[in-house]
Amino acid sequence: MLEDRIHTFTATKIVQQIRDKKLNAEKVARACLNRISERESGVQAWEYIDPALVIRQAQALDQGPFKGALHGVPVGIKDIIDTADMPTTYGTPIHAGHQPNKDAACVALTRRAGGIILGKTVSTEFANRYPGKTMHPMDPSRTPGGSSSGSSAAVGDGMVPLAIGTQTSGSTIRPAAYNGCFGYRPTWGDFRMTGVMEAAGSFDTLGLIARSIEDIALYRHVLLGEMSEAQAVRNCQPPRVGVCRTQFWDEADHATKSAIESCAQAMAKAGATVTDLRLSADFDSIDETHQRVSSFEFSRNRAWELDNHFDEISQTLRENRLRHGAECRFEQYQDARKHCEDLRLQLDDVFRDFDVILTPSAPGVAPIGLNATGSHSFSSIWTACHTPSMTLPLFSGDNALPIGVQLVTKRDTDDYLFAVSSWTCGLFER
């Protein structure tokens, strides 16, 4: 029956089905709510959900004219993003029950385009490393990744077709890869961050998680304020590919290394020029540099919580990122920021010889254990350089768990990232 499959539909398909009057928003909303009811106890992807509010949103859409590019599409919103009709707790009991008085810009744009705010998805504590309650949908003994834990698990488990996360290190790319989703981090600065908790403003971006590249392209244009209904992903010629294993290559497991090699081989067979890319030694310290900048900013952004609710902050967060940030002097912070900018310029030069970089999304499949969210080592380098990136769920490892491969393009070439990502996925279609 159609009703049994609605929760698996992509956002693009939902919009088309509603426009063709084969579906309505209420049916879609109820299908997602039913899936959540069936699965939430074992996944725990949601921090807040009000089914009655969801149905009211859907019914209002069904009673009015076709509203926009996301008409009737349920969307999950990470719980560090303000919503006027739902609490925002920032992943901490310090802010339990906190009710913003207005929507974040991304939420307002989602509603304007006809999206249904399904609920707030679990975030790690202040979008950092201390885990939330969410478990991996395929294996509850494993982490779903973080900090966009709930958003990635909810999309991966078929609870919602679209979700917003954020990324300061690897908080969209890594969990999306773990949960078998498409995950997209844009060029830094493209999306408005009004109403989103600031972790480290030098790197913070929204991140989009979905079941298809087309869905992410559609949502991207909504968040850019461009309300056209369909965003065709353009074609591209076989690209010049740089296979960048980075200094963290030894962290990758055998299945991840094999996935990168298989992807590179498929690209070459399809006509791409594929070359090993070794970044200069200047990049070897970028993880440390990224951590210095982000920790400095994060510790100062959390000044009120530190001064007023110190004991309610996890020991992990206090003794690591907050302490490191507090110990960092302003002069060191300035030097680290300058180093990041120098590396961005170097990477711009690298892209004179390459169109796209192929690299792991994470060291491997989602690791066993719920006391950590996995390594961000294969993401933080690109986050620090402000480049757009996409993880593609093309491979699997142990126990059929997902493995993503990551594509990275030059700053401000996001449209090309979508094109080359679509081209790459086409190589593996059967």
User: DSSP states of 265-317 as a string?
Assistant: HHHHHTT-EEEE----GGGGGHHHHHHHHHHHHHHHHTHHHHHH-GGGS-HHH
**Dihedral of CA 22/39/131/387: which sign?**
negative
Rounded (to 5) percent helix, strand, coil in the chain: 45, 15, 40
The verdict on whether omega for the bond into residue 299 sits within 30 degrees of 0, i.e. cis, is no
Q: Are 124 and 152 in contact (CB under 8 A)?
A: no
Query: Per the residue annotation, which of 120, 123, 147, 377 is the catalytic one?
Result: 147
Selected catalytic residue, list 148, 152, 169, 171: 171
What is the chain's length? 430
Which tokens is 42 given?
């074992």
To the query of whether residue 147 is one of the catalytic residues in this protein, the response is: yes
Choose the catalytic residue: 13, 27, 78, 410.
78
The verdict on whether 78 is a catalytic residue reads: yes
In angstroms, rounded to a whole number, what is the distance separating the alpha carbons of residues 268 and 276? 12
- Classified as helix, coil or strand, 178 is helix
Q: Catalytic site residue 171?
A: yes
Side chain identity, residue 275: T
Closest to 9 measured CA to CA, from 185, 170, 162: 162
Q: What is the DSSP letter of 95?
A: G
**Phi/psi at 103 (5° precision):** -75, 145
Alpha helix positions (H), 160-253: 173-178, 213-223
| Residues marked as catalytic | 78, 147, 171
